[in-house]
Amino acid sequence: DADVTQTPRNRITKTGKRIMLECSQTKGHDRMYWYRQDPGLGLRLIYYSFDVKDINKGEISDGYSVSRQAQAKFSLSLESAIPNQTALYFCATSAATRREQFFGPGTRLTVL
């Protein structure tokens, strides 16, 4: 079974729609992250959370919001999707005392 899961894996939506991407983990890690990946730009951090009560903005948080419902769940929302939010979105986790991040399989989002 995958340690970090993301749903949905693919989503096509229209401009102006509200979208939620979900991430769950069974690794027991406190820290969770949301990234987006664009061709030629690597990964850019959207939001991160060090525990349920700690949410922090990353490099590119505008247009996004997050919710840490439990230690194991971290959701990313696009309140009003726009075409330049078309990208591959990754959730990741890490333990507080280690440096490695573990990634989910990604969600491919297309905004028309």
Q: What residues line the site for another protein (CB under 8 A)?
A: 4, 40-45, 48, 58, 90, 92, 99-106
CA angle 85, 91, 93 (to 5 degrees): 150
Find all residues with CB under 8 Å of 87, minimum gap 6, and list them.
36, 37, 38, 109
Q: Is 83 helix (H, G, I), strand (E, B) or coil?
A: helix
Smallest separation, CB 84 to another protein (Å) = 18
Smallest separation, CB 64 to another protein (Å) = 17
Task: Give the residue with the Cβ less far from another protein, 53 or 99.
Answer: 99
Smallest separation, CB 33 to another protein (Å) = 8
